[in-house]
A and B are shown apart, each in its own frame.
Chain A
Amino acid sequence: MSGAKKIALTDRIGVAAIYAIGLLSLALLVAPSLIVVAISFDTRSYVSFPPVGFTFDWYAKLFATPELIQAMWVSLKVGLIVTGMCLALGVPTAIACVRGRFKGRQALSVFVLFPHMVPGIVLGIAILFAGATINARPSIGLQSLAVACFILAVMIRIVMARLMRLDVALEEASANLGATRFQTFRHVVLPLLMPAIWAGAAFTFIEGFDNISVAIFTHGHRDRPLPVELMSLVQNDNTPMVAAVSAAQIALSVVILGVVSSTLGLEKLND
């Protein structure tokens, strides 16, 4: 009787401890971002928490800093180019990997998903070298190509996962009803892939916008992207303006999260 009680007690304590660590982790995941957002409205000119006042001054200063605005445009451009390239290259590749009927289909999947294993810093340095051999200097173009190469595997993976779950019978039904291959793609496969395509686009955009590991080696000298600018800002500026830039980035990620959760659904994302 007392033995059973003892087990129940240790069980309760053990589970409570696990829950406590879990809640602590969740707090540690969220709190830093909230602190940054709070600080970005502080009236003091140095960074401290909790803030003592409320002002939009640091955001005003942010928008009055031409290097930051320029960097945002560069990142936006890179994000859009990367997304476009990953869509154009990734979606057809995912289809070939899943629906293809040719020898070496498995090898193809391994090859196109391999970049995922190559660290960004290594890829960035390698592409910088390759560019330097053919006189292709770092630029928005080179940066976009490099980041697209780095993140393409993610787009392919998301689309492949969705495609694997699409019943082949739907495509057969379409063909049986008189649709050509292209019509089947246009009217059945593509609409049903849209959630994955949106999610993939969101991820590739954010990587194009935010990536630093590849970008720092491949960005143009006059076209510094936001993460590169932010990196030096964090090291050199200790006013809450850095927090304002960060808060703006957090806002962007919340928007992206909304896109992903309303298209693919958060649960499906994680399979």
Chain B
Amino acid sequence: MLDIIARFANGRGFWPAIPAVAFLTVLMVIPLVLLLSFGFSDIVVSRGVIVSQDFTLDHLTKILGDRLYLLTFQRSINLSLSVTALCLIFGFPVAYLYLRSGTFARRAILIAVIAPLLTSGIVRTYAWIVILGGQRGIVNRALLDLGLIEAPLRILNTHWAVLIGMTQVHLPLMILPLIAVMTRHDKALDEASANLGASRLQTLRHVILPMSVPGIGTGATLVFTLSYTTFVVPQLLGGGNYLNAATMAFEQMVYSLEWSKGAVTSTLLLVTCIFFIGLFTWASQTTTRWIRQEGVA
């Protein structure tokens, strides 16, 4: 008995984690298992309470055979991959700028990158309505004033608005991991390369880019998963006629109250999402290993 108490109290044990493990089991493991089971069931919901659940493969087979689902998931994947690529294109230069900056500028860049992360995504998406919106939108006004267009462009409530907004909203998640990996390496590496006669572009290509691969992997995973699973940006900037998988699940659950379908859609969302996380992680690790072995990039 004393032995058990002593072991309990020695602070090296598992016990401090017990509450969190119990918490996560009840609030994550069991709900996810239930969610999975609902995909194989017909459920009857009455006033927000599930009153019956019967095993059936109907919903699953119906959905897997439905072209709408296939198209929606394809659209989601395309959108998320495009956003990831755009975030890389716009994010990498920021990280490079950070690497080349002094203390003060670095601080300013960090504030500019982290502050949006702490601001509600809805607020930041709202800003894009103002910028892209109809005739009075900033973009249209500027283009009209410059005489580049004659009639206002329809950007809001299109695929483009979703793409632009989502890229901006998720950009910090690409920049931060890039900054982390780039600054982890010694600045002397950069200087050594220059000293060996490499131009800045060559240094970028042969030193900085290869060593950034793990950061690109982390950033891409974050940006992809969030873009893949958000319904906020498509709802607000797509104007209700842009349907990605997350929006579909959201509408099934909240608007049309088709909980059985919602269960299948969100299960598919989870499974595909974890598949892509695995894929991105694998690609990043393989590339890193390849760079290390070959010594080239």
A117 to B269, CA, bound (A): 12
Q: A35-B131, A112-B20, A126-B34 are in contact. Are A25 and B236 (CB under 8 A)?
A: no
Q: How many residues of A contact B (CB 8 A)?
A: 99
Report the separation of the CA atoms of residues A40 and B279 in the bound assembly, to the nearest whole angstrom: 43
Could you mark each residue 78-91 of chain B with 1 if its beta carbon is under 8 Å from any beta carbon of chain A, else 0?
00000000000111
Least distance between B143 CB and chain A CB atoms (Å) = 14
Q: Scan A92-103; emit 1 where CB is below 8 A from any B CB, else 0.
A: 110111011110
- Decide: A47 and B180 in contact? CB cutoff 8 A: no
Contact A212–B121 (Cβ < 8 Å): yes
Q: Which of A11, A48, A99 contacts B12 (CB 8 A)?
A: A99
- Interfacial chain A residues near B73, Cβ < 8 Å: none
CA A132 – CA B231 in complex, angstroms? Answer: 23
Quick check: B34 and A254 within 8 Å, CB to CB?
no
| Interface segment, one of A12-20, A56-64, A66-74, A190-198 | A12-20
Which of A130, A257, A261 has the most chain B CB atoms closer than 10 A to its own CB?
Answer: A130
A270 at the interface (CB under 8 A from B): yes
CB within 8 Å of B: which of A1-49? 7-8, 10-11, 14-15, 18-26, 28-30, 32-33, 35-36, 39, 46-49
Number of interface residues of B (CB under 8 A): 95
Q: Are B28 and A115 in contact, CB atoms less than 8 angstroms apart?
A: yes
Q: Are B254's CB and A21's CB within 8 A?
A: no
B112 → chain A, closest Cβ, in Å?
5
Main secondary structure of the interface of A (DSSP, over half): helix
Q: Please tell me which one of the listed residues B16, B19, B49, B91 contacts residue A132 in the complex, with CB atoms under 8 A apart.
A: B49
Q: Mark A139-169, 1 if CB is under 8 A from B, else 0.
A: 0000001101100100010000000000000
Q: Given contacts A99-B12, A132-B50, is CB(A18)–CB(B93) below 8 Å?
A: yes
Task: Tell me whether A266 and B114 are in contact (CB under 8 A).
Answer: yes
Residues of B within 8 A of A80 (CB): none
Q: Which of A88-131 contact B (CB under 8 A)?
A: 88-90, 92-93, 95-97, 99-102, 104, 108, 111-112, 114-115, 117-123, 125-130
Q: How many cross-chain pairs have Cβ atoms below 8 Å apart between A and B? A: 289
Q: Are A32's CB and B172's CB within 8 A?
A: no
User: How far, in Å, is B224 (CB) from chain A's closest CB?
Assistant: 11
Residue contacts A-B, CB under 8 angstroms, 16 given:
A11-B202, A18-B204, A25-B90, A29-B113, A47-B133, A119-B270, A121-B229, A121-B249, A122-B32, A125-B249, A130-B31, A181-B11, A231-B232, A235-B235, A253-B118, A270-B114
- Give residues in A with beta carbon < 8 Å to B: 7-8, 10-11, 14-15, 18-26, 28-30, 32-33, 35-36, 39, 46-49, 85, 88-90, 92-93, 95-97, 99-102, 104, 108, 111-112, 114-115, 117-123, 125-130, 132-133, 135, 137-138, 145-146, 148-149, 152, 156, 181, 185, 206, 210, 212-213, 216-217, 227, 230-231, 234-235, 242-243, 246, 249-250, 253-254, 256-257, 260-261, 266-267, 269-271
Q: Contact residues of B with A, CB < 8 Å?
A: 9-17, 19-21, 23-24, 27-28, 30-32, 34-35, 38, 45, 48-50, 89-91, 93-94, 96-97, 106-107, 109-116, 118-131, 133, 136, 138, 168, 171-172, 175-176, 179-180, 199-202, 204, 225, 228-232, 235-236, 246, 249-250, 253-254, 259, 262-263, 266-267, 269-270, 273-274, 277
